[in-house]
C-alpha cells in the first residue's frame, strides 16, 4: 500500500518479512538482487548465537555475515540501524568500521526537512550533504535549500538576522530569530531551537561584558528556522546581532548578512569558506555582508563587504 501511495513501480522489488539472517541470505542468494536492504540490523538475529536480537554480539555477527555476503556476491547491502537519543548509532562501534560508508538522516521531528550526511565514505568525500523534504510522496530532493531557511520577504524585522552556514562544501543561508524580554522569574530562561544553549550562554556573557547591554534579567529565546541545526561558530555574529536587535527593539535589514565567530573579548574572528558563503548570499539577493576584518576574499563577491573587528562596530552600524 505504501508503495502504491508513493507512486513507486514495484516491479523488481521483493520484500521478505524475516528476522533469521541465515534465511534472509538464503533467499537473497536465490534472487541475486543488485541491492539488499536490511531494516533494521537491531531486529535481525543469527541462529548460531544464543543472545537476543539487538545485543552487541548479534549486531556484530550479523554485520560481519552481511559484509561477507556483499563481498562474495557483489550485491550492494544497505543496513538500516537505530540511533540513540544523542544521535549516535546504537550497537557496537565495530559495525561502523566494517562498512564502506555511514550515512545519517538528520532533522527536527517538527520539520519536514531531512539532511543526509556522510560521516564515513571509503570511495568519496564526506564534505557533501543531501537536503530532502518529506512530502506525501516521500522524500524529495531540495535543489535550492536556502529558500527553505529564509523568508521571501526582505523587509526590516526586529530580532531577525541572516547568516550563512557551510554544510560540508555546500553553503546555506539561514534565518536566526531572537526574542528578548524581561523575565518574571528569579532565574531567566535560556531556550534555543537549532542552536547550542551553552554557546548561547557564552554569547550573552560576551554581549553584557563587552557592550554593556543588560541581559542577566531577561528571558532569551533563539530559533533557527527550517528545522536545521547550527553546528559551527560562523553563525555567532548573526545570533548576537539578532539578540541585540530584539533587546533594543531596533529592526535589522532583510538584505544584510552576518558571518563571523565572536570571541570572548568581543572580537570577530575569521571563518572558513567565506567566499562560498558570499557567493550564495549574492545568489539569494543579499546586498551587504558583515564579515571579519581582514578576511581574504578571492574575486568580486558581488555585494558590499563591511569588515568589522569588534562586536560593538556592527551594533553601532546596524542597531545604533
pLDDT per residue as tens digits for the range 147-176: 777 777 778 899 999 999 988 778 889 999
Per-residue pLDDT, averaged over 60-85, amounts to 92
Mean pLDDT, the chain, as a whole number?
A: 89
Looking at residue 118, what is its pLDDT?
A: 86
Q: How many domains does the chain have?
A: 2
| Torsion over CA: 70, 140, 168, 160 (sign) | negative
Q: Which of these three, 85, 110, 142, is where a domain ends?
A: 142
Same domain, 136 and 67: yes
Same domain, 159 and 300: yes
The residues with which 303 forms a beta bridge, in sequence order, are: none
Same domain, 22 and 127: yes
Same domain, 99 and 25: yes
Which residues lie below 8 Å from residue 249, measured CB to CB, with a gap of 6+? Answer: 158
Per-residue pLDDT, averaged over 19-35, amounts to 95
Which residues lie below 8 Å from residue 119, measured CB to CB, with a gap of 6+? Answer: 102, 103, 104, 126
Same domain, 289 and 175: yes
Same domain, 309 and 195: yes
- Give the CATH number of the domain where residue 103 resides: 3.40.50.300
**Does position 209 have pLDDT exceeding 90, yes or no?**
yes
Same domain, 82 and 185: no
Q: Which of these three, 99, 126, 142, is where a domain ends?
A: 142
Looking at residue 169, what is its pLDDT?
A: 76
pLDDT digits (tens, 9 = 90+) for 298-313: 778 889 999 999 999 9
What is the DSSP-derived secondary structure letter of residue 226?
Answer: G
Same domain, 73 and 168: no
Closest Cα partner for 293 from 272, 257, 267?
A: 267
- Give the CATH number of the domain where residue 304 resides: 3.30.230.10
Looking at residue 16, what is its pLDDT?
A: 93
What whole-number distance in Å separates Cα of residue 27 and Cα of residue 16? 9
The domain in which residue 279 lies consists of 148-318
Same domain, 136 and 172: no
Amino acid at each position: 500500500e505504501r508503495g502504491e501511495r508513493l507512486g513507486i513501480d514495484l516491479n523488481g522489488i521483493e520484500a521478505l518479512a524475516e528476522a533469521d539472517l541465515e534465511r534472509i541470505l538464503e533467499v537473497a542468494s536465490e534472487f541475486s538482487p543488485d541491492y539488499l536492504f536490511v531494516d533494521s540490523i537491531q531486529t535481525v538475529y543469527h541462529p548460531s548465537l544464543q543472545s537476543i536480537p539487538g545485543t552487541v554480539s548479534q549486531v556484530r555477527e550479523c554485520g560481519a555475515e552481511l559484509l561477507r555476503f556483499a563481498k562474495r556476491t557483489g550485491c550492494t547491502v544497505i543496513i538500516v540501524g537505530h540511533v540513540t537519543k544523542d544521535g549516535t548509532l546504537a550497537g557496537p562501534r565495530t559495525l561502523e568500521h566494517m562498512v564502506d560508508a555511514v550515512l545519517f538522516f538528520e532533522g527536527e521531528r517538527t520539520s519536514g526537512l531531512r539532511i543526509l550526511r556522510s560521516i564515513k565514505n571509503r570511495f568519496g568525500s564526506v564534505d557533501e550533504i543531501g537536503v530532502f523534504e518529506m512530502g506525501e510522496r516521500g522524500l524529495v530532493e531540495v535543489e535550492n535549500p536556502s529558500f527553505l531557511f529564509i523568508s521571501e520577504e526582505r523587509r526590516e524585522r526586529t530580532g531577525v538576522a541572516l547568516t550563512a552556514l557551510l554544510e560540508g562544501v555546500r553553503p546555506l543561508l539561514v534565518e536566526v530569530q531572537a526574542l528578548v524580554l524581561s523575565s518574571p522569574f528569579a532565574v531567566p530562561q535560556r531556550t534555543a531551537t537549532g542552536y547550542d544553549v551553552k554557546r548561547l550562554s557564552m554569547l550573552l556573557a560576551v554581549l553584557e561584558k563587552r557592550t554593556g547591554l543588560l541581559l542577566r534579567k531577561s528571558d532569551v529565546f533563539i530559533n533557527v528556522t527550517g528545522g536545521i541545526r547550527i553546528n559551527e561558530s560562523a553563525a555567532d555574529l548573526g545570533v548576537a546581532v539578532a539578540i541585540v536587535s530584539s533587546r533594543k527593539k531596533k529592526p535589522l535589514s532583510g538584505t544584510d548578512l552576518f558571518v563571523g565567530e565572536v570571541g570572548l573579548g568581543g572580537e570577530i574572528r575569521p571563518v572558513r569558506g567565506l567566499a562560498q558563503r558570499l557567493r550564495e548570499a549574492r545568489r539569494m539577493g543579499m546586498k551587504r555582508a558583515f564579515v571579519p576584518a581582514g578576511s581574504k576574499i578571492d574575486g568580486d563577491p558581488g555585494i558590499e563587504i563591511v569588515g568589522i573587528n569588534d562586536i560593538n562596530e556592527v551594533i553601532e552600524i546596524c542597531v545604533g
